[in-house]
Amino acid sequence: MRGTGPLDPDGKRLPPARLHRHGEYVSLQFRRGQTQSRMRGDAPERLLIDYTRTMLAALLWQPRPAHIGIVGLGGGSQVKFLHRHVPGTRLEVVENHPGVIELRREFGIPDDDGRLQVVFDDGARFVAARPGRYDLLLIDGYDAGGIPEALSTPAFHTACREALAPGGVMATNLHGDDPSHHVERLRATFGRDRVLVLAEPKMSNRVAFAWIGATPAGDAATVEAARAALGEQGRRELAPALERVAGALRQRRKAECAN
């Protein structure tokens, strides 16, 4: 890109990050009409977009994570939810767009503190530098063109696996018509029996979970353990997503036992 504008950590020119207000909603945009993140001004911690709730069903694998890594700050929907509803967890967020970080207060994202740190860096480099660190790893890094190539390579998926602590899980948002090559790369890295993909009804998103260690049973005890780690409001907000992902885990186990 030519001209002036924000630079990523490696000096590449980026499109400006724009704040758009429409009634009670606030959104983040790189291109006019293309929403990257959305927030209600009167409820900044609320998860408005379905896939963000589905991704947080990763709590079925790790109900009380000590460390959570997040690639892609955006409007901070998941950061705000986790900071408020999952106490005792350390959140480390990497964002490669300085303009997005500059807008964090406009989106009600808390300042850095003992539980939250937002880092300006390349997401792939950040993850690769933290082996064995995260109980949960959430990947939702997009630019104006979609998923950056650096966040879809076999090397990146290997770094994600190696960044997980024992029993850790990653959840990634796959937006687009055909995410099959991303899914196959995850299966090649984690094993076919440790990748679960769910489509989002009414959206062109899929959420992929990939993990190391045991696969949750998806039974009532699994769901209750995840619910118990949340406050009352958090339980209400995530209840449908937890049940849906737990149901997919049960169905998967049933199919495996039948074979």
3-state secondary structure the chain: CCCCCCECCCCCECCCCEEEEECCEEEEEEECCEEEEEEECCECCCCCCHHHHHHHHHHHCCCCCCEEEEECCCCCHHHHHHHHHCCCCEEEEEECCHHHHHCCCCCCCCCCCCCEEEEECCHHHHHHCCCCCEEEEEECCCECCECCHHHCCHHHHHHHHHHEEEEEEEEEEEECCCCHHHHHHHHHHHCHHHEEEEECCCCCEEEEEEECCCCCCCCHHHHHHHHHCCCHHHHHHHHHHHHHHHHHHHHHHHHHHHC
CATH code assigned at 87: 3.40.50.150
Confirm whether 21 is domain-assigned.
Answer: no
Domain that holds residue 170: 49-258
pLDDT tens across 218-251, in order? 999 999 999 999 989 999 999 999 999 999 999 9
122 labelled catalytic: no
Identify the active-site residue in 8, 10, 112, 140: 140
- The answer to whether position 40 is within a domain reads no
User: How does pLDDT run across 85-127, given as a tens digit for each residue?
Assistant: 998 899 999 999 999 999 999 999 999 999 999 999 999 999 9
Residue 102 lies in a domain: yes
Residue 39 lies in a domain: no
Higher pLDDT, 3 or 172: 172
Span 21-37, pLDDT tens digits: 887 888 888 776 566 77
pLDDT interval class at 173 (50, 70, 90): very high
* Number of domains composing the chain: 1
Residue 37 lies in a domain: no
Flag whether 9 is in a domain.
no
Asked whether residue 162 is assigned to any structural domain, the reply reads yes
Q: What is the mean pLDDT of residues 55-61?
A: 98
Residue 31 lies in a domain: no
